[in-house]
Amino acid sequence: MELYTKDLVLKTVANEDIDEVARMWDFEKGSISLAEAQKAIDYMQGNHNQNTTGHIHHLCFAIYEKEKSSIIGWCGLDGKCSPGKVVIFYMIDKAYRNNGYATQCASKMLEYAFETTGLDSVYGGCFKDNIASYKVQVKVGMILYEVDKENGDPHFYIDKYIYDKIKSLR
């Protein structure tokens, strides 16, 4: 599956992407072996097979700049990390940050969640010191609904009604 934004292609990975998955699976720490990359691909494909209309188990996209063949990050929707909630995520390699890519990914994930999958709500969050991620969630219309009392991390939420209202204003 491929989704497109102004500057990006968001793509579910397949076996032919193994070298890029090995290079970028854990890009903060470094590359992984091809055997580990194959396990990651199998894991992602197994998760994708559990997604249905109205339900996201886990959906992960590799992020590519248009016309490029290198993965620059990951984004998606996770329905298994927090019971009863689908959580948006995005991670961009440092070399590609500050280009609006996280905002494009978050917008596309919300569009997919509400318009394709038929979800009622999506949650998000970030570490309290991650100002850039905080701003992305605000830009795409997510609402701060609580701050974790233990660590100060902000938690965000958007539902279909709010999404539709924001979309009608754009």
CATH topology of domain 2-169: Aminopeptidase (3.40.630)
Q: Are 95 and 31 in contact (CB under 8 A)?
A: no
Give the least confident one: 38-42, 88-92, 121-125, 139-143.
Answer: 38-42
Token pair, residue 170, equals 């754009």
List the one residue out of 3, 133, 19, 5 whose CA is nearest residue 71.
Answer: 19
Alpha helix locations (H) across 61-159? 101-111, 131-139
Q: Are 108 and 3 in contact (CB under 8 A)?
A: yes
**How many angstroms separate the CA atoms of 152 and 146, rounded?**
9
The pLDDT tens digits for 90-108 are 999 999 999 999 999 999 9
| pLDDT for the residue numbered 82 | 77
Question: How many residues make up the chain in this entry?
Answer: 170
Alpha helix locations (H) across the chain? 18-24, 34-48, 101-111, 131-139, 160-169
| pLDDT for the residue numbered 114 | 96
Q: At what angle do helices 101-111 and 131-139 cross, to 10 degrees?
A: 40
